[in-house]
Structure 1
Amino acid sequence: MDYRQVGNSDLYISAITFGAWAAGGWMWGGTERSDAVNAIKASYDLGVTSIDTAPIYGQGTSEEIVGEAIKNIPRDKVQILTKYGMRWDVAKGDFGFKSQDNAGHPIDVYKYSGKDSIIKECEDSLKRLGTDYIDLYQMHWPDKTTPIEESMEAVLRLIEQGKVRQAGVSNYTVEQMQQAETVLSLVANQVPFSMLNQSINETLVPYCLAHKKGILAYSPMERGLLTGKIKPGHQFAEGDHRAGYRFFKEQNIVQTDEFLDKLKPLADEKKASLSQLVIRWTIEQPGITAALVGARNAEQAIQNAQAINLTLSSDELEFINYNLQALELV
């Protein structure tokens, strides 16, 4: 495994990081808890020491699963990345969206990062995770109802108390990062990035490279579309959030499928899956510290972790990028 420094901090994480969104079952139609625990353990055995989770994933379920999976691992051998600022249990802040819990009950999700709320969220996360500190604590989404400075002051207090090692954000613009940095030093921004979604290359990547900030790429598989398993005409199960997601419009699925067909010979030549090829490409991109990749079971987790063994030459990367540029997604 490749371990990379996050920004200028003393925190190092595995280039392939376990993304525990799907493990929480939230928005993915449920989860098998034991399978998710085994997936995390299998990842760890192959060097994936970093796990990204959040309270909102399954309303605590994902963090509990992470806590269960790491309870017999020495704490300093694993890096826990979690978040704050999305509440389903209070109607405060900026209304985010309507959703449902894992039992199918409707919930309203709010983006809220008031100081007292962050302190409470941290305590709740520590209990669910079964630990006394968090390696990277990230604001999940910007909350326009709370001054950024107030939120960062709360995290600064948690750092001073030893409950948080490093501060990060997620889904922040360059301007929002600059505002946060008037209070404390951010080490990373977690943002969506994939072969199909490279919008961060315009401003965020140059800023983070210039100021030595890490970038954690979430949804590098574009929620499963880049695995090659979703074909034109695919029917999603009821409640699957991907049905209304823009990359899953039929014409985009068709184009992506044709693109992946062009990559298949390269993957075959390397005795790798398309998913492994996509993961390796992602962590080769300028500014990307780690790719957050989810798995529902040990088999998927092992496949993801083994992507680190692939090598891509400059010519091969150029070939992939050339075919990417030909896509015209709507």
Structure 2
Amino acid sequence: MEFRTLGQSDLKLSAITFGAWAAGGWMWGGTEQNDAVKAIQSAFDYGVTSIDTAPIYGMGHSEKIVGTAIKDLARDQVQLVTKFGLRWDATEGDFYTNTKDNDRNPIAIYKNASKASIIKECEDSLKRLGTDYIDLYQIHWPDKTTPIQETMEAVAQLIKDGKVRYAGVCNYSVEQLEEANTYVDIISNQVPYSMVNRGIETDLVPYVIKQNMSILAYSPLQRGLLTGKMQAGHVFSEGDHRQGLAFFKDENITQTVTFLDKLKPLAESKHATIAQLVLRWTIEQPGITIALAGARNEKQSIQNAKAIDVKLTAEELQFISKALEQVKLDL
């Protein structure tokens, strides 16, 4: 495994980090806990020592699964990355969405990044994870009802108290990132990025490179679209959020499959899967420090971890980029 330093900190994460959203079940049509635990443990065996989770993933379920998976490990062997700011158990803040929990019960989610909420969320996350500190603590989404100053000063206090090592953000614009960094040292921004979702290259990537910050890319496989295993007409299970996303319209799936077919000879020459090739391409892009890869079982987890073994030359990266130029999804 390769390990990469976030920003100007001394925190190093595995270049392929385990993304534990699907492990929590919420919005993914449920989960099987034993499979999720084995997925995390198998990833660790192959060098994936970093795990990204959040309270909202299964209303605490993902964090509990992570806590179970790492309970027999020495704390300094693993890097725990989690979030705050999405509450399903309170109605203060900025309304986010109506959804259903893993038991299919209706719930309302609110963005709340107030100081009091952050302090409570941190304590709850520590208990679920079975630890006394979090390596990287990130606001999940911007909360327009709370000043950024209040939010970041609360995180700074948690760092001072030893409950958090470093501050990060998720889904922040350059302007929001710039303001947040005036109140606490921000080392990373976690944002969506994939071969077919490259909007951040315009402004965010140049900014973080200039400021020596890091990007944690989530959904690098575009939630399964870039695995090469999906075909037009795919039927999602009940509760799977992907069925309503534009990326998964039949015409977009078909166009993506056509592109991925062009990569098959290259993948085969590397004895790699399409997904492994995609993950390696992702972490080779300027400004991208870490790729978050989710897995629901041991097999997927090991395959993701082995993506690090794929090596791409400058010419091969250029070949992929040129093929990508022909992909024009209807989003």
Using structure 1 for the length normalisation, give the TM-score: 0.99
Check if 1:327 corresponds to 2:327: yes
- Other structure's SS at 2:7 match: coil
Paired residue type of 1:216:
L
Within 2, Cα distance between the matches of 1:322 and 1:81?
A: 34
Within 2, Cα distance between the matches of 1:92 and 1:224?
A: 34
Structure 2 match to 1:154: 154
Within 2, Cα distance between the matches of 1:235 and 1:163?
A: 43
Within 1, Cα distance between the matches of 2:239 and 2:24?
A: 15
CA deviations over 1:178-200 (Å, ceiling 9, x no partner): 11112111000000000000001
The offset of 1:253, in angstroms, is: 0.8
Within 2, Cα distance between the matches of 1:177 and 1:246?
A: 28
Within 1, Cα distance between the matches of 2:155 and 2:61?
A: 23
CA deviations over 1:136-184 (Å, ceiling 9, x no partner): 0000000001000000011011000000000000000000011111211
* 4+ residue segments displaced more than 4 Å: none
Structure 1 match to 2:309: 309
- Other structure's SS at 1:224 match: helix
* Pairing 1:188-199 to 2, within 5 Å after superposition: 188-199=188-199
Structure 2 match to 1:297: 297
Paired residue type of 1:318:
Q
CA deviations over 1:87-141 (Å, ceiling 9, x no partner): 0011111111111100011111111111000000000000000000000000000
Structure 2 match to 1:34: 34
Paired residue type of 2:299:
E
* Pairing 1:165-244 to 2, within 5 Å after superposition: 165-244=165-244
Within 2, Cα distance between the matches of 1:147 and 1:135?
A: 24
Structure 1 match to 2:101: 101
CA deviations over 1:33-79 (Å, ceiling 9, x no partner): 01111111111111100000000000000000000011111101100
Structure 2 match to 1:70: 70
- Other structure's SS at 2:222 match: coil
Check if 1:288 corresponds to 2:293: no
Kept after mapping to 1: 8 A contact 2:228/2:257 = yes
Kept after mapping to 1: 8 A contact 2:4/2:289 = yes
Structure 2 match to 1:267: 267
Within 2, Cα distance between the matches of 1:138 and 1:132?
A: 17
The offset of 1:238, in angstroms, is: 2.2
Structure 2 match to 1:249: 249
Structure 2 match to 1:87: 87
Within 2, Cα distance between the matches of 1:20 and 1:271?
A: 27
Within 1, Cα distance between the matches of 2:257 and 2:105?
A: 35
Count how many residue pairs are aligned between Structure 1 and Structure 2. Answer: 330
CA deviations over 1:222-274 (Å, ceiling 9, x no partner): 00000111101112222211011111112111100100111111111111110
Within 1, Cα distance between the matches of 2:271 and 2:217?
A: 25
Kept after mapping to 1: 8 A contact 2:26/2:57 = yes
Structure 2 match to 1:43: 43
Paired residue type of 2:327:
L
Within 2, Cα distance between the matches of 1:291 and 1:303?
A: 14
The offset of 1:281, in angstroms, is: 0.5
Deviates more, 1:11-20 or 1:262-271: 262-271
Paired-residue identity, %: 63
- Other structure's SS at 1:223 match: helix
Within 2, Cα distance between the matches of 1:212 and 1:109?
A: 33
Within 2, Cα distance between the matches of 1:121 and 1:238?
A: 29
- Other structure's SS at 1:39 match: helix
Within 2, Cα distance between the matches of 1:203 and 1:114?
A: 28
Unaligned runs of 5+ in 2: none
Kept after mapping to 1: 8 A contact 2:19/2:292 = yes
Within 2, Cα distance between the matches of 1:99 and 1:300?
A: 27
Unaligned runs of 5+ in 1: none
Within 1, Cα distance between the matches of 2:183 and 2:92?
A: 24
Within 2, Cα distance between the matches of 1:148 and 1:275?
A: 37
